[in-house]
Structure 1
Amino acid sequence: MLSHVVAVTAATAIVPGVSAPAPDPVCAQPAYRCPDLVMEEPYDLRPQKRGKRTVLRAANSIYSLGRGPLKLYGWRIGKTTMRARQIIYTANGSVTRSTNGGRIVWKAIPGQGHYWKFEDAARFELWTVGENRRRVRVGPKVVYCFRDLRRTHPSRRSPRDRVNPACSQDGSRQRVTLGTSVGWADIYPATYHEQWIDVTGLRGCFALWHIADPYNHLIESDESNNAARTIVRLPWRGRVGRC
């Protein structure tokens, strides 16, 4: 772990210069059980050399904490692409589907094979800190499974057992369903494929942001908790830095 992480904000932080979009009006209606994705601040940071480049790896967790689960239904529109439509549950158990749910793509993971995963589920960004903040780097990680990996926030709305399994690895599938139940999380360790951002040549203090649903494809009850950050000093020299 990088011991030079010197500050962590709450997961309700907003990316500099970006206003959180207003929640969809349907979520204000008691009859609808909208999901709420909450991004945990980046953790388990560690540097890695990639040839002549240096990257900063970080673990990542997206919690599902709304009144209802995140649920996506996809159907094939191309060789490696599905169109996604979000499913919103109502209090009486019926469902309604949103008109814009983004895309599900056939993603290769080295050493594991291919999976059907949701595109633009999250983004890693590195920003300067202080006045005149600006974005300096963007990481490659954009696709996520959306699954029930770990029950992190038990409640009466949270199922005790997994409802949403790992993403399908069947390339012949014409339809798939992805999702994360209330109280469960989709979690990726720092060592996972593309869990990094290039920090080559950077010096000083920076904010490493993890942002869920950066293009607002998904309907949520709260859009203000989709981003969280950790402040780091670069380059890493094996000691605690100060910002």
Structure 2
Amino acid sequence: MELKDQAIIVTGGASGIGRETCLALARMGADIVVADFNAEGAAQVAEEVKALGVAAHSFKVDVSVAQEVEALVDFAVEKLGTLNGLFNNAGIGLVKPFLEMDPASYLKVIEVDQHSVYYGMYYGAKKMVELGSKGTFVNTASIYGSVASRGNFNYNAAKAAVIAMTRSGALELAEHGIRVVGIAPGYIDTPILGTDAGVKEQLAAQHMHKELIAPEKVASVAAYLFTDAAQAINGSTVPVDDGFLAFKE
């Protein structure tokens, strides 16, 4: 149990990659704060985590609001006694053609997908330095942080920023014993993709195995990045994309 007694916050923890990462971290011994705007879902995942024999608490948060993320960090330290890492994973999408993407549509995604990562890193790092604790931040970027996709100008911009913030954060926080890494998932088999079988098949075809990626496959990589075994990975964003960024047929 490589993460025994480590205290880690997971945002977007109520479902999908977040939920699976909460469970993966718990199996490695970490104590977890499951944070999500969906309070009921977060509470349910916290109970699943507790069943694995570690401490877990849930917290309702709007990650686009700085004060709420600060409160989340304070809550984690109050409940778990320390802080050793954050999985800045919460995110949304809002697909619109560029000429229909009014400022409100643009900013909504930027605030949730980009600004929240800054808030998590900023308030998390401030608290960890105050406590004298070391640890890791893992940030969820996307394949769309490296390539463009029609209708996703806002999402492309936010996820590219996450990749850049991961590099910059790693550089600035290394002296404090805080490592910062990113993951860039491909097309993940979660409800966010909708129910259209044809669309899912089209997306899956862009992976080497011609399948959507199960969220637990991404979670296993995210959880690994928190461990000492991943110490040499710092400032990088690791694709978990079944070859999407490596090839085009």
TM-score by length of 2: 0.23
Instruction: Point out the structure with max Rg over C-alpha.
Output: 1
Higher relative contact order (CA 8 A, sep 6+): 1
Task: Looking at secondary structure, tell me which structure has more strand per residue.
Answer: 1
Task: Looking at secondary structure, tell me which structure has more helix per residue.
Answer: 2
